[in-house]
Structures are given as structure tokens and as C-alpha cells.
Chains A and B, each alone.
Chain A
Amino acid sequence: MSVDTATVAKIAALARIKVSEAEVAAMVPELNGILAWVEQLGEVDVTGVEPMTAVIENHLRLREDVIDADPLTGGNKRDAVLANAPAAEHGFFGVPKVIE
């Protein structure tokens, strides 16, 4: 499989990265080079093989079902959460208008 300019433009839109036509044109051969190389995986016989889900067997834990179980990451952190926001207003994240 290989990608063309329309596909690269579509992927960039899905990834929410603005790209110019010139950038797309430059990326097409680069991505095709990488994709052609990774396609050698198609020759591996994976009949009956399960896809990897965890490299080291581990059980997912459940934490105690209590509020603020971890004081570091628990509630009442509004100001800390907003501290690095480019546009925090009135205790919220500010974004451009989304409803006309």
C-alpha cells in the first residue's frame, strides 16, 4: 500500500496538523519509503498468534473507590490544572467560539 497527496492530506487532517501543499508533497515519498519498509511484516506467518497486549504480565489494579484517594492527583486542583493553560478564564479553559 502506498499513499498519495490526497491520503497524506487526509491523515494530516485526522491528526489535526496543518500542512501546506509543499509539505504534503515532500511527505509523500518519505512516508511511502517507511511504509514500503514496514510492509515486510506481511511475510510473517502469524496464524494462531495473539496480538501482544502486555510485554510483562501484570494485573490492572483498581484503586479504592473513594474521593481523592491520592491527594496529589485528587480533587480541588483547579488552579494547578489551569496554571499552564494558554488562556484560562473564570476558572475554565478558554477556547475560540465553537457555536455560531
Chain B
Amino acid sequence: MTDLTELGVAAIREGVAKGDFTAVEVAEAFNANVAAAQPALNAFIVATPEKALEAAGAVDADRAAGKPLGKMAGVPIGMKDLFATKGVQTTAASHILEGFKPEYESTVSQKLWDAGAGMLGKLNLDQFAMGSSNETSYFGNVISPWKRKDGGNASLAPGGSSGGSSAAVSARLAPAATGTDTGGSIRQPAAFTGIAGIKPTYGRCSRWGIVAFASSLDQAGPMARDVRDCAIMLEAMAGFDPKDSTSLDMPVPAWEAGLSGDLKGKKVGIPREYRMDGTADEIVKSWEQGIAWLKDAGAEIVDISLPHTKYALPTYYIIAPAEASSNLARYDGVRYGLRDLPDGAGLQDMYAATRAAGFGPEVKRRILIGTYVLSAGFYDAYYTQAQKVRTLISRDFKEAWAHCDVILAPTTPSASFALGEKSADPLEMYLNDVFSVPASLAGLPAMSVPAGLNLEGLPLGLQIIGKPFDEQGVLNAGLAIEQRAGFTAKPEKWW
């Protein structure tokens, strides 16, 4: 019998629908992989095998009864622990939310369950989604399933913040997982682990019930093994939600049915400002290979300019901490989560003690930066200036769309790095998001697809950025790359 954990979303859905295997068999196979890998990879904060089985049993019963099956019927998935799940601990990988069991379900997770998916567990991440290597989780680092082929045995970063998601999908602990992307948190971990992931247009997926980091940037999206699986899962996740004031009131397109790797008549922009110093040679080579692939798919390649690219990262590191400092003000030891009440402490002391004990160093750092740039006297110099530059960054993209349909760029400036390699210097870690942050600041759909392996045997990703609402264009260019890259590599099992 085939190893069910080698199957992706589409194959599982079809096999269950045809009766080749049951949804319960699929859930059991993935539950076993989750349990076996947990000590080594630490991809999950909480495993919920019973939830996966329960959802699978319902799908099998529906099929037996001849009822119509949903888009994700019989597919067990990992849920990033940033999504509120009713009755199941939701922590954002923080101590301050340890033990928090939401009384409600996030819109996106509910939509997935309604589509027939089941939950394997809550996936580890960088604390409050702040990090690029999954080294800031209160519940320990996630270890990438990938190893360098250099004879060494260094533990590598699965990327961040959706590091549990990327590790789980690439290690075959889940056929797909949810991610969230604020500055690259779906695309960068996808690139580091040889999987696909898409951040849709801002507003496509409801933010209701997702622990907030930077509300003007946060978007949920799927992470899976290929482009088709991402299209299927995004259809299930997206859609208007009156409970999110920035939700797009637009129909969800049939992205899966619209998939086509034929790019005849399409123009692909290559931004000259993305040729940056400090980018690894292997990244530049894989970008050139990507250009050749898209030409082969029929696309015309055009040079474009995004003049404010170099200012995207500093803009992001003002806006995101500013929004975070405001969003995270809610953790006060009163309504939910941790309370630290020293003897004789008053209310203000309790707030300060609770937040000191409950937040990790990177979260504190960003709250302090955010508090500073929003404080009286500095607001205009930092925050208003950043929002003006953000307008210019967005305008750069608008002008580029006069010349091209999608943009091709690297996802990251390097392949995955070893844990500890960049964690001593916050700035160096921030620079890892250099290619992913501009699309986030402009709210654009963007995806990473695997392009190949470097000389050390580690995956490299290519990024496609699209016009607002044109997830289809992004997915199609991703598919064209996927068809030509023929990426079948997976991590050799050591866990």
C-alpha cells in the first residue's frame, strides 16, 4: 500500500472521494508521523490526534451516506498556533498565553473545518510571529528536517515565523498547514524547507481570531507541497468576513480550476533593485534559472524598477513594531493568560510584572521600539515618515504594473542557516526578510515555490509577486516554475 503521508492535498482528497483509502486511515498515518517526529523536530506545541480522527470519521460517514464532500475533505492539516481554536490551547508560542483556551474559533480555521479538513495539532512558531528562524518560541526551537550535506550535523532553521508549519509539511507530518505572513512569514519558511506557500492579497483571508501582530500587514495563507495544493487550500481559507473590518467583500475565485502554466502573452518584471550586494551567488543563479523557466513558459521578461526597495525593511521595522506595541497592550494579566502578581503589588505593578514574565526578549524589543516610535515628539519623525515611505513603496509597484503582470524575485538572500547563527544580532536576522517585506508593505499577493537545491543540498525558493487580487497570476507563474523545476527533493529522514 502507498505511504499515505507521501500524498498531498489534492491526492488525499481524490483518494478519499474515490474510496482508495479512508480519511481515518490518512489521519492515522499523519498522527503517527506527528508523534514520531515531535521529540526531534518540535514542530507542534500541542498535538490533537483526536481532532484529526474526529474530522476524518465525519468525512468517511458523509461519503458513505452519499453526501457532497468539501474542498478539503479528508485532509488533515497543521494549524499555526496563532489561530484561535475553540477549546484547544492557543499560545502564539508565548508564555503570556500559555493555557489560553479560546471560547471561539477563528474564521479561517472554521472555514477549513467546514471544508472537511481535520486538525493534527497546533504548530510552533516564533513568539507572536516575531522572528525569521523560529528561535523566539517559548516552547523551544523548531528544528528543520533538512541537513547540510557537508558531513556536519548542524541543526538548521526551518525559517520563521511559520517554522512549525514549514517543518511539518516538508517532513511529511502534514500534507499542508496554515501560515501567516506579516513580512515574509509564509514565504521565507517555505523557501527554507522546499515547499510552496502563498500570502494572498491583504484582506482575502479574515484576520478574525488570529492573534494580532501588525494588523495592517498580517495575512493568513496556505503552506503545502505544491502550487495546486496551495490553490485548493487558499480557496477554502479565503472569503469575506463581516467580523474583520479590512476583509475584502469579493467572491473567492476558482483558483484551482484556473491553474495554467502557460504564460504566453504574460509579462514578467525583474526588479533591478533586487540585485543587492550580499545576496548569495547561488540565489542569483537560481533567479536567472527562474527567468529562463518563465521565458520557456511563454512569458516575456521585462526589466522594471522599484526605486524605494532599499527603504522597505527600515519602513517595516517601524510600522510592524508600532502596530505590535499597540496590539500587544491587551496582554495585561486581567482578561486572559498569565498573571504575575508580586506580593503587595498594585494594578500597574501587576501589568509590568506580568508583561515582563510573559513576553520573550524579541517581543519586548519590538514593543519598546514600537512604543518609542509612537511616543510624543518622535511620532512624526519615525511613524509618519515610515507611512509616507510606505506610500512610495506601494506606488513603485503600481507603476511597475504598467509594464508587467507579475514580478519574479528570490524569496530569501540565502538558503537556511544554522540555529544560533544569526540570533545574536537582531538586525542581521531582520535583513533575511529583505525580498519578502516590500510585497507585504504593499498588501500584494506573493508566493514562494521551490526552485532547486544548493550545493549543500538545501532548498532555494523563488518568489512571485502579483497585482492586488491577482492570486491566479501568481499561482500560474508559480506553476510554470514548478513544472520546469521538477523539484522532488525531500529531507532525508533522521528523526
Contact of B314 among A38, A46, A49, A53 (CB under 8 A): A38
B293 CB–A CB distance under 8 Å: no
- Is there an interface contact between A72 and B104, defined as CB atoms closer than 8 Å? yes
Q: Which of A30-67 contact B (CB under 8 A)?
A: 30-31, 33-35, 37-42, 44, 46, 49-56, 58, 60-61, 63
Contacts A17-B367, A34-B369, A80-B104 known; list 5 others, CB within 8 Å. A11-B368, A17-B355, A34-B365, A84-B103, A87-B339
- Is there an interface contact between A41 and B352, defined as CB atoms closer than 8 Å? no
Q: Which residues of B contact A13 (CB under 8 A)?
A: 352
Least Cβ–Cβ distance between B310 and chain A, in angstroms: 8
Q: Which residues of A contact B102 (CB under 8 A)?
A: 84
The 8 closest A-B pairs by CB, nearest first: A55-B443, A51-B387, A86-B339, A84-B336, A18-B352, A18-B356, A46-B388, A80-B103
- Is there an interface contact between A30 and B385, defined as CB atoms closer than 8 Å? no
Least Cβ–Cβ distance between A84 and chain B, in angstroms: 4
- Is there an interface contact between B391 and A52, defined as CB atoms closer than 8 Å? yes
- Is there an interface contact between A31 and B387, defined as CB atoms closer than 8 Å? no
- Is there an interface contact between B375 and A14, defined as CB atoms closer than 8 Å? yes
Known: A15-B367, A55-B443, A58-B248. Is A3-B337 also a contact (CB below 8 A)?
no
- Is there an interface contact between B318 and A18, defined as CB atoms closer than 8 Å? no
- Is there an interface contact between B346 and A97, defined as CB atoms closer than 8 Å? yes
> What mask results when residues 366 to 403 of chain B are scored 1 for a CB within 8 Å of chain A, else 0?
01110110010010011011111111101000000000
Q: How far is the CA of A15 from the CA of B101 in the complex (A)?
A: 26
B308 CB–A CB distance under 8 Å: yes
Q: How far is the CA of A50 from the CA of B387 in the complex (A)?
A: 8
Q: How far is the CA of A53 from the CA of B202 in the complex (A)?
A: 13
Q: Which of B32-63 contact A (CB under 8 A)?
A: none
Q: How far is the CA of A4 from the CA of B130 in the complex (A)?
A: 25
B67 CB–A CB distance under 8 Å: no
- Is there an interface contact between A1 and B381, defined as CB atoms closer than 8 Å? yes
Q: Which of B224-257 contact A (CB under 8 A)?
A: 242-243, 245-246, 248-249
B408 CB–A CB distance under 8 Å: no
Q: Which residues of A contact B (CB under 8 A)?
A: 1, 3, 7-8, 11-19, 27, 30-31, 33-35, 37-42, 44, 46, 49-56, 58, 60-61, 63, 70, 72-73, 77, 80-81, 83-87, 93, 95-98
Q: How far is the CA of A19 from the CA of B392 in the complex (A)?
A: 37
Q: Which residues of A contact B442 (CB under 8 A)?
A: 55
Least Cβ–Cβ distance between A41 and chain B, in angstroms: 5
Q: Specify the chain A residue showing the minimal Cβ separation from B341.
A: A96
Contact of A40 among B311, B352, B441, B443 (CB under 8 A): B311
Q: Which of B295-317 contact A (CB under 8 A)?
A: 308, 310-311, 314-315, 317
Q: Which residues of B contact A33 (CB under 8 A)?
A: 426-427
- Is there an interface contact between A15 and B103, defined as CB atoms closer than 8 Å? no
- Is there an interface contact between A40 and B314, defined as CB atoms closer than 8 Å? yes
- Is there an interface contact between B388 and A51, defined as CB atoms closer than 8 Å? yes
B435 CB–A CB distance under 8 Å: no
Q: Specify the chain A residue showing the minimal Cβ separation from B342.
A: A18
Q: How far is the CA of A33 from the CA of B425 in the complex (A)?
A: 10
Q: How far is the CA of A87 from the CA of B368 in the complex (A)?
A: 28
Least Cβ–Cβ distance between A38 and chain B, in angstroms: 4
Which secondary structure dominates where chain B touches chain A?
helix
Least Cβ–Cβ distance between A60 and chain B, in angstroms: 6
- Is there an interface contact between B335 and A93, defined as CB atoms closer than 8 Å? yes
The total of interchain contacts (Cβ-Cβ below 8 angstroms) comes to 170
Q: How far is the CA of A81 from the CA of B47 in the complex (A)?
A: 26
Q: Specify the chain A residue showing the minimal Cβ separation from B217.
A: A55
Known: A17-B367, A56-B443, A95-B334. Is A44-B372 also a contact (CB below 8 A)?
no
- Is there an interface contact between A52 and B201, defined as CB atoms closer than 8 Å? no
Contact of B346 among A50, A63, A80, A98 (CB under 8 A): A98
- Is there an interface contact between B356 and A19, defined as CB atoms closer than 8 Å? yes
Known: A8-B368, A17-B368, A18-B355. Is A50-B388 also a contact (CB below 8 A)?
yes
Q: Which residues of A contact B292 (CB under 8 A)?
A: none
- Is there an interface contact between B352 and A44, defined as CB atoms closer than 8 Å? no
B213 CB–A CB distance under 8 Å: no
Least Cβ–Cβ distance between A78 and chain B, in angstroms: 11
Q: Specify the chain B residue showing the minimal Cβ separation from A70.
A: B243
Known: A34-B369, A60-B245, A83-B103. Is A44-B427 also a contact (CB below 8 A)?
no
B325 CB–A CB distance under 8 Å: yes
Least Cβ–Cβ distance between A97 and chain B, in angstroms: 7
Q: How far is the CA of A23 from the CA of B359 in the complex (A)?
A: 14
Least Cβ–Cβ distance between B3 and chain A, in angstroms: 40
Q: How far is the CA of A63 from the CA of B249 in the complex (A)?
A: 14
Contact of B385 among A7, A42, A72, A87 (CB under 8 A): A42
Known: A56-B443, A61-B242, A95-B347. Is A84-B101 also a contact (CB below 8 A)?
yes
CB<8 Å pairs between A and B, sample of 9: A16-B355, A17-B352, A17-B364, A41-B315, A41-B389, A42-B385, A51-B390, A73-B243, A96-B346
Q: Specify the chain B residue showing the minimal Cβ separation from A40.
A: B314
Known: A34-B317, A34-B426, A96-B346. Is A55-B371 also a contact (CB below 8 A)?
no
Q: Specify the chain B residue showing the minimal Cβ separation from A13.
A: B352
- Of A13, A19, A56, most buried by chain B (CB within 10 Å of CB) is A56
Q: How far is the CA of A98 from the CA of B334 in the complex (A)?
A: 13
